[in-house]
Amino acid sequence: MSTRKSKCRCAALGAVALLAWPAVAPAYMGPTLGLGIIGTIIALVVVLLLSLFSFVVMPLRRWRDRNRRADPADRDDTESPARESKPADGG
């Protein structure tokens, strides 16, 4: 019985090996496919760079804007003549 199991194991292992073995696949990769791959790679690189840039820059902009609003030296508390209140009827 052990020889029968051994033969089954060998057959199964052989079948797996044949299925896993890469076959020769001659294929023509023309200029259109090559340019498409190059364009895709360039687009992925640009997207990654833009996402990293925005990931770094946006918090810096928020921090800068928050500090500008919080700085009392930048505020002008005096009313200018253009800001004087006018009646609602336009007169």
Cβ 59 vs Cβ 65: under 8 Å: no
* Pairwise CA distance, residues 21 & 15, whole Å: 10
Segment holding 14, helix H or strand E: helix 2-20
Q: How many domains does the chain have?
A: 1
Number of H helices, E strands in the chain: 2, 0
Q: Residues 17-71: pLDDT tens digits?
A: 888 877 776 777 788 888 999 999 999 999 999 999 988 888 888 888 888 877 6
Q: What is the pTM of this model?
A: 0.42
Work out whether the CA dihedral 73, 78, 81, 82 comes out positive or negative: positive
The verdict on residue 65 lying in a domain is yes
The verdict on residue 64 lying in a domain is yes
The verdict on residue 14 lying in a domain is no
The verdict on residue 48 lying in a domain is yes
Can you give the residue range of the structural domain that contains 46?
42-71
The verdict on residue 13 lying in a domain is no
Q: Would you call 21 helix, strand, or coil by DSSP? A: coil
